[in-house]
């Protein structure tokens, strides 16, 4: 993937020379907690599979796919296609399937079936039920292709498009499953990087649903690892840079446009300088070698695709090309020579980063857009770092920074910091330390900071720590310390989550679930390591923190209103076995809490500010208390309000009810409807007031207003309808298909008589 750089530089910094955090860089942080001792369960270790064994398991999965589909509750029009399989030491087999619907590929329909001595379950993608989407396209392939090419041209930054391939698919990665055209626009970016851009077009409206690029390019970093052993093949009187021990991996020189396999008469390659065309090939071959060994030795993975086939490395791509990229179609890694053709981008962690994109493509298949794109990029950073520690090079000292030895931007700083991602601030953007509601809108290189920071905290813990001579100081979102479980265990958790439980559209909340499941497999749900995973996520603002072995989601403190029914739930879990019990003091008058399920229900009868404290108790009599303020708004008389938030799905409707009582006769002819609504395209939101008998009154029709917030009062004539009863505000998203917007929400609304 791209990692933007402003300039090249020749100064090489020692890893130990990277300065520690200065005293004036912010408030002091608590000391680093101790590393937890975590011993994985041997039953959860992966079993290395030969190519023949893997083929047989996939073949068996194919033979059982109809039975598996029925057991999973899929419809008659849905067919499963086995994609990948891994096996645990206890005999549990995890089979990853893709789906088709009436013969069409379902993007976002992948799932993983877990079948073993003690487990029979399914990990679903974002959608389990596809419904019955139409397979009739209102938009032609040619029309969709033209729209895709126009969009691609705007994204290539002055590059060129060559050809477009289209296929009909069912898009189930977001919103309601629908028929779409998957247009693949092939071309070249402005800097020379190849592009194979997917543009998903709604086959009914012509709207753009999503886009991502298959070509996954890296950062402008050039660094050598010094003297390294290479596996080569002798052919006659010469040697080829072909690795017979690792699936026949080959390294080619593409400097003249055509790939040429590198050869040498004496099996001595390169001289450590860019002046020798072999030097970049040495680093590329070394990176592929170490990456293969890491995945094989640590996880029993037999190559990038786990099929025993080696990838291909290509060096000297382009002219002064300051990038590198993985292309899954050619199953190859391509390196440019950097600015001025003097610093080939062949650093070990970059090679491992890019090849890990291939591992991700052949396992979870995380789509390179939104939060799944950030997780895709973070996975490559995480595993690239793990490979660097695995290699333990003398010159490339392992660390938690990317590009630490090359001053590519001319700033004296690495390109990425895993302990505090926001330190990588550049003209192009800043990586996130913590999750926010806007994470899904960022470029994956910056949204990846959330995953990178989580991983560092899980491996090393928060606070100040020195590793291999480099001092780190990692903050947490809530200011509380987090203990680490060690790099080895953290890597095991991430890889298991990636290969067993993540799917193509997993977001950060889903990654939390996946890594907790992986930690449960490896260490058990009552372990300190399991809690450490949850707390590392809480430290980057994803999910709740465990305190006294109880984790509780933020209490539902959003405003309530007098006379409007309330049904909200306190959600909690514990690492102690057994049920939880709930109690609360200070609840608004008219509300109560269920001791067994944590549901707060009832109808508030008095407005005011309430100081609420919820107590959650586990089976070990450990308690967790959460205090918060809860406001109950006045509602009644002439003014009735519903303060609950309702999310608005793209191109669908949402209905928010409001109970009106105590009014005599009909509603007025100047009924005031006040609406607070947030959406990327306010003009496309159609708002109707629906009476209890179903009569709909237009409040706001479609207008060409591109604002993002609506705070307005409208007047409607409701004199033909009784005032008392349940009124509903119906909001329908009718955003034009030419816009790609995030789902909005109705923040609150009210009626004034």
The catalytic site residues sit at 354, 445
3-state secondary structure of 540: coil
Only one residue has tokens 């984790």, namely 551
| HSE value, Cβ hemisphere, 13 Å, CA-based, for 546 | 24
Relative to beta strand 608-617, strand 623-633 is antiparallel
Relative to beta strand 238-240, strand 233-235 is antiparallel
Which among 639, 638, 644 is positioned nearest to 560, based on CA atoms? 644
Q: Is the dihedral of CA 339, 343, 348, 349 positive or negative?
A: negative
Residue 429 bridge partners (DSSP): 426
Contact 512, 530 (CB under 8 A): no
8-state DSSP, 497: I
Which among 168, 169, 171 is positioned nearest to 209, based on CA atoms? 171
Which among 534, 617, 529, 629 is positioned nearest to 588, based on CA atoms? 629
Question: What string of H, E and C letters represents the secondary structure of 149-205?
Answer: HHHHHHHCCCCEEEEEEEEEEEECCCCCCEEEEEEEEEEECCCCCEEEEEEEEECCC
Distance between CA 326 and CA 333 in Å, rounded?
5
Which among 248, 302, 292, 245 is positioned nearest to 48, based on CA atoms? 302
Q: At what angle do helices 277-299 and 348-361 cross, to 10 degrees?
A: 50
Only one residue has tokens 């109808």, namely 603
Give the DSSP H or E segment for 61: helix 51-63
Q: What is the DSSP string of 316-344?
A: EESSS---EEEETTTTEEEEE--GGG-S-
368's CB contacts (< 8 A; 6+ apart) are 1, 212, 213, 216, 376, 377, 444
3-state secondary structure of 302: coil
Give the DSSP H or E segment for 673: strand 671-678
């Amino acid at each position: 993937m791209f990692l933007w750089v402003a300039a090249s530089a020749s100064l090489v910094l020692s890893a130990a020379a990277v300065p520690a955090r200065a005293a004036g860089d912010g408030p002091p942080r608590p000391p680093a907690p101790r590393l937890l001792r975590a011993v994985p369960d041997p039953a959860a270790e992966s079993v290395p599979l030969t190519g023949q064994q893997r083929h047989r398991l996939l073949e068996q999965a194919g033979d059982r796919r109809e039975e598996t589909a029925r057991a999973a509750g899929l419809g008659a029009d849905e067919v499963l296609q086995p994609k990948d399989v891994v096996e645990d030491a206890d005999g549990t087999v995890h089979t990853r399937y893709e789906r088709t619907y009436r013969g069409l590929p379902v993007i976002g329909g992948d799932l993983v079936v877990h079948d073993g001595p003690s487990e029979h379950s399914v990990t679903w993608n974002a959608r389990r039920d596809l419904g019955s989407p139409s397979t009739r396209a209102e938009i032609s392939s040619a029309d969709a292709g033209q729209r895709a090419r126009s969009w691609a041209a705007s994204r290539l930054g002055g590059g060129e498009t060559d050809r477009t391939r289209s296929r009909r698919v069912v898009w189930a990665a977001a919103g309601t499953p629908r028929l779409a055209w998957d247009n693949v626009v092939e071309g070249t970016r402005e800097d020379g990087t190849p592009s194979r851009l997917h543009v998903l077009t709604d086959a009914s409206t012509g709207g753009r649903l999503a886009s991502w690029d298959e070509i996954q390019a890296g950062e402008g970093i050039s660094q050598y690892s010094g003297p390294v052993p290479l596996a080569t093949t002798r052919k006659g009187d010469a040697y080829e840079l072909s690795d017979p021990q690792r699936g026949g991996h080959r390294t080619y020189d593409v400097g003249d446009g055509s790939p040429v396999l590198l050869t040498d008469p004496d099996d001595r390659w390169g001289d450590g300088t860019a002046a020798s065309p072999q030097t970049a090939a040495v680093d590329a071959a070394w990176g592929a070698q170490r990456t293969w060994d890491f995945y094989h030795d640590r996880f029993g993975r037999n190559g990038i695709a786990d099929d025993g086939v080696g990838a291909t490395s290509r060096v000297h791509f382009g002219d002064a090309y300051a990038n590198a990229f993985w292309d899954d179609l050619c199953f190859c890694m391509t390196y440019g020579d950097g600015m001025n053709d003097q610093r080939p981008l062949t650093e070990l962690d970059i090679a491992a980063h890019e090849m890990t994109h291939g591992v991700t493509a052949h396992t979870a298949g995380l789509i390179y857009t939104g939060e799944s794109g950030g997780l895709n990029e973070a996975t490559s950073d995480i595993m690239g770092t793990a490979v660097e520690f695995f290699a333990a090079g003398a010159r490339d000292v392992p660390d938690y920074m990317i590009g630490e030895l090359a001053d590519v931007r001319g700033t004296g700083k690495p390109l990425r910091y895993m302990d505090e991602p926001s330190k990588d601030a550049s003209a192009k953007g800043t990586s996130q330390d913590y999750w926010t509601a806007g994470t899904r809108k960022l470029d994956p290189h910056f949204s990846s900071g959330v995953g990178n920071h989580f991983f560092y905290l899980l491996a090393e813990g928060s606070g100040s720590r020195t590793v291999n001579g480099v001092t780190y100081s990692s903050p947490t979102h809530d200011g509380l310390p987090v203990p680490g479980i060690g790099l080895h265990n953290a890597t095991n958790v991430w890889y298991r989550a990636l290969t067993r439980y993540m799917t193509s559209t997993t977001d950060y909340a889903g990654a939390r679930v996946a890594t907790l499941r992986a930690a449960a497999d490896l260490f058990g749900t009552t372990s300190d390591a399991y809690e450490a995973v949850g707390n590392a996520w809480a430290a980057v603002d994803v999910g709740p923190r465990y305190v006294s072995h109880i984790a509780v989601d933020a209490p539902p403190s959003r405003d309530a209103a007098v006379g409007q029914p309330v049904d909200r739930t306190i959600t909690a879990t514990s690492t102690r076995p057994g049920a939880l019990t709930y109690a609360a003091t200070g609840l608004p008058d008219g509300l109560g809490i269920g001791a067994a399920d944590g549901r707060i229900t009832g109808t508030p009868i008095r407005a005011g500010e309430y100081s609420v404290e919820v107590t959650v108790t586990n089976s070990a009599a450990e308690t967790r208390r959460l205090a918060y303020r809860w406001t109950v708004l006045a509602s009644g008389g002439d003014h009735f309000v519903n303060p609950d938030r309702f999310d608005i799905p793209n191109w669908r409707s949402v209905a928010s009810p409001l109970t009106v009582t105590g009014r005599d006769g009909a509603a007025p002819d100047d009924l005031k409807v006040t609406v607070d609504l947030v959406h990327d395209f306010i003009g496309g939101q159609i708002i109707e007031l629906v009476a209890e008998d179903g009569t709909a009154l237009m409040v706001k029709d479609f207008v060409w207003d591109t604002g993002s917030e609506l705070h307005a009062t409208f007047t409607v004539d409701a004199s033909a309808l009784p005032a008392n009863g349940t009124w509903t505000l119906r909001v329908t998203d009718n955003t034009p298909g030419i816009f790609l917007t995030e789902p909005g929400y109705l923040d609150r609304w009210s009626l004034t008589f």
